[in-house]
Structure 1
Amino acid sequence: MSLAMRWTRLLMVVSAIGFAGAAYAIRAVMDGPIEQYSGAALSGAIVYTIVIFIWPPVSPLIAGSSAIAYCWFIEFSQLTPVPAALSQRSWLARQLLGAQFDPVDVVWYPIGVISLVAAHWVLRARTRSRANPTPARSEP
């Protein structure tokens, strides 16, 4: 594994911990819509970091689409009784699966992912431009 992949994975672990910490901090001091919306957006951001951790060379668009699809899958699975039953038995299951469907979350997951896709795109373009500088043109 290359050094760049190791650094990327370390950055994703640190980012996921930071996003989770922010979500729990907001939950501790806020109540209502801000708590709910930020929780969904930060959950989407955490899933994005997991996708990059698993496959560092993935394109931003694929990573973002995968993260949003996964979040939506989990959210829509809450229309069945399975996540609620598992959440009653386990704190971890409640954190990972939630307990009940909320259509507002479906909108907020992409909001948490889109800014990371944009940042990933910019960083990737900047890294590639440094690795492959365009040759200077000589005057005739």
Structure 2
Amino acid sequence: MRLSAAGAALATVGAGLGLRAVAVGEVAKYGGDALYTLLLVALVVLVAPRVTAWKAGALALAVSWGIEFLQLSELPAELSRHSTAARLILGSTFNAPDLFWYAVGALVGWLVVASRRAGQGRTSPAL
């Protein structure tokens, strides 16, 4: 499962870069938000391969939402002014619609992990 998760993480980063190269505006922004959380799902499974699909999606969503709500403070904006990595990871400005698109990414991640495990004959609880 770790190899699959690592491959999924790399593919997700590639999809995000590709999306930014060919799309603009809301498609690029909100697609990027969903992919951000999808990447987090893959990283959760990479670090903890026995985690349930539901927990991987929930943890990725919680981190995404936590970072978004952190943007209500000045900390992410200040760090983003000094670091490209901080800007990519933390963003800088709160945007409520991002919360929905993070949930979309978590749902897709949950579905992918659950279906992958079902295809391997492993049982993974639906919830």
Q: Which amino acid aligns with 2:103?
A: P
CA distance in 1, matches of 2:36, 2:89: 9
Spell out, residue by residue over 1:114-139, the C-alpha distance to the aligned partner (whole angstroms, 9 max, x if none): 12211222222333369xxxxxxxxx
Aligned to 1:30: 23
How far off is 1:67 after superposition?
0.6
Aligned to 2:116: 123
How far off is 1:19 after superposition?
0.9
Please list, as runs of the form range in 1=range in 2, the aligned pairs for 1:82-97 lying within 5 A after superposition.
82-97=75-90
- List runs of 5+ in structure 2 lacking aligned partners: none
- List runs of 5+ in structure 1 lacking aligned partners: 1-7, 131-140
Aligned to 1:39: 32
Greater Rg, structure 1 or structure 2?
A: 1
CA distance in 2, matches of 1:28, 1:103: 25
| Identical aligned residues as a percent | 34
Q: Over aligned residues, Cα RMSD in angstroms?
A: 1.5
- Greater RCO between the two (CA within 8 Å, min separation 6)? 2
CA distance in 2, matches of 1:35, 1:129: 35
Spell out, residue by residue over 1:84-106, the C-alpha distance to the aligned partner (whole angstroms, 9 max, x if none): 00001010111110111111110
TM-score (norm 2): 0.90
Spell out, residue by residue over 1:3-32, the C-alpha distance to the aligned partner (whole angstroms, 9 max, x if none): xxxxx2222222112111111221122211
Count residues in correspondence. 123
CA distance in 1, matches of 2:105, 2:57: 10
